[in-house]
Amino acid sequence: MSHSHNQIVEQLPLKSICSMCYNNRPKLDWTIREFTYAELHAATQGFSIKNFLSEGGFGSVYKGEIHGQKIAVKQCIHANHKQEKEFKSEVDALTKARHENVVMFLGSCSEGNNRFLVYEFVCNGSLDQHLSQYSRKPLCWQDRVKVANGAAKGLLYLHQNNIIHRDIKPNNILLTHDCKALLGDFGLAKTVSEEFSCSIECPGNLGYWAPEYAAFGKVSNKTDVYSFGVVLVELITGMKTTDKRLGGKNLVRWARPLLRQGNCQKLVDGRIMESHDCHQLFWLSRLAGNCLNKDPHKRLDMNTVSLHFDFLLSKSSSNPIQAVIYILILLGGQSLNTYRRRLQWLHSGKRQY
């Protein structure tokens, strides 16, 4: 089976290497191919338990190696029409996506009833493992911001290519040891050409559903933005959507009043209380609140979210003049181009506006 794909490939180095474990990412010009069952069986040592990585709603994932390239092989459950549709949906979405913050799709296997998806191997597990209260080394504040920024860039790229992920959550954000974030698991992804489409089913985790998705099955880029907002709250708090420490409350319901009041210090994960950047915490909390707007039309888009991170990671976040301009943007008072022009003026030493 051959795949034709017209994806937009970002201008990136052909390869990137993890500074800690030296894991090589595949070249961006890797040609997507059809693997044989025998190849994947050999690569994973017969789908050995020692190569088992994870189990999800769509099947098990195993680590393997082919021609010196480490891979992750997703063994898809294939028992009915729905699961076959999900398999094809993931293949279609992945063949269009080549970006440094999206897990690279290397190929697939369809032999008899066997269905496999082959990805690059991402060396440091998923975000949920690093946010867990049981993690021996929880992510520091700067790494959390870096992960959020990377995930935002990956999601913006998908939206620019008319792909709605539909399952943004920490389990589906994979990390290298350098805390580069890569979006994975496209089993629920949809390619769209309209602002809204309607889905009868609402798969995924309830804690990440946008209100319009949960109530009416309405799907758009803004449903991903809402899920991303939930992830931001998890990064800030270190809590899960149904964390036992919340006493039965949903994380978003618990956090929403604090976000509205700007009471950031009550949100921040106690494990990083001494190391977080107060200015960044304030702006990241503002961003999370705007991503979680109940009205999808008032919710931010990923272009604005990405711009927010440009601001957040610059020194502007502690500059009162630039902060005032930025908050006008965040509240919808100015255009993005106006914001960019004014930042350029400020950086050049001018103050007229």
What residues contact 51, with CB distance under 8 A and at least 6 apart?
44, 45, 62, 63, 64
Is the distance from CB of 224 to CB of 159 less than 8 angstroms? Answer: yes
CA distance 59 to 116: 9
In this structure, the strands spanning 33-34 and 114-120 are unpaired
Would you name the residues annotated as active-site residues? 167
Of 98, 279, 82, 282, the C-alpha closest to 187 is 82
Residue with tokens 């350098």: 178
In this structure, the strands spanning 218-219 and 197-198 are antiparallel
